[in-house]
Amino acid sequence: MTRTPEDDSDRPTLVLSEIAWFQHLPDNSARQMVACPVPLQRPLNTHFVLDRDEFSNASKLVLRNLPPKIRWAGYVQCGLLIALMLTGAAFRPGGELQPVSLVILILVWLVFLTAQIAHRASTKLRFAPMEGKEIWYEFHETGFRCGLPNAESQLSWPTISSFIETGALFVVVESGVLFYTIPKRALAADDISSPRQLLVEKVTARA
C-alpha cells in the first residue's frame, strides 16, 4: 500500500516503508505481513522548469535538516553571539550604557543580518543557472541522471546521503547543502510512488 501526501505545505511528511505490495502468511493462529519492494521496471523520466519559490523552499528544508554536528556548531556560534550581546548590554558602569557596549550590540546585530543576506544571495546565485531553463531527470535502479540544456550529471545511490519529501517536493541531498529538487507537479500521479520507493529502498534503508 502506498500512501501519497496530500498536503501541499512544505512540512516534511512521513515516508512509509510499505511501498509496494503485502503478502499475508499464516503463522499458527496469527498472520504476518511482509513488505516486498517491487524493482523499478523502467527508467522514470521527467522534465520541468523549476520555480524560484520551489528552490528556495528546498534550500530552507536542507538547512533545517543539516547533519547534527553542523547544526550544533551553528547553535554554539549563535549562543556565543547572544552571550556577547547580553554582556555588552549589561556592562553599565555608573548605570549608563557605554560606547563599547553599543559597538558590541551593533556588531552582533550586523553578524546576524549579514548571515541572512549571505544566505539569500547564495540561494539566488545557485538558482540563476537554472532559472527559466528546462531541467530533466531520469531515475533508475543504480542511480539517477539529471541535466540542463548545456550540462548533465550522473549520480549513483551510494553518493546520496538523505532525502526529504514534502507535499510538493522531493529534495535529494548529496552532501551538506548540495541538493536536487524535483517538484511533484512534474510527475504523473501514478509515478509519484516510484521515486519514493527508490529513495526509501536505496537511501533510507542504507542509513
Give DSSP secondary structure letters for 67-133. -HHHHHHHHHHHHHHHHHHHHHHH--GGGS--HHHHHHHHHHHHHHHHHHHHHHHHHHHHHGGGTTS
Radius of gyration of the chain (CA): 23
CB 51 within 8 A of CB 183: yes
Does CATH number 2.30.29 belong to domain 21-64+130-204?
yes
Please give the single-letter amino acid code of residue 87: T
Phi, psi of 23 (to 5 degrees): -115, 125
**Secondary structure percentages of the chain, helix, strand, coil, to 5:** 45, 25, 30
- 149-to-60, 132, 156, 206 alpha-carbon distances in Å: 26, 11, 21, 33
**pLDDT per residue as tens digits for the range 74-120:** 778 788 878 877 777 777 777 776 777 778 778 888 887 888 888 78
Grid coordinates representing 108?
552582533
Q: Is the pLDDT of residue 31 over 90?
A: no
Rounded to the nearest integer, the mean pLDDT of the chain is 77
Instruction: Looking at mean pLDDT, say which of 47-51, 59-63, 89-93 comes out highest.
Output: 47-51
Q: Sketch the domain layout of the chain as residue ranges.
A: 21-64+130-204, 68-126
Q: Is the pLDDT of residue 26 over 60?
A: no
Strands 178-183 and 30-36: unpaired
User: Looking at residues 171-197, what average pLDDT do you find?
Assistant: 89
DSSP 186: G
Q: What is the pLDDT of residue 40?
A: 58
> Would you call 20 helix, strand, or coil by DSSP?
coil
In DSSP terms, 179 is beta-bridged to: 173
CB 191 within 8 A of CB 146: no
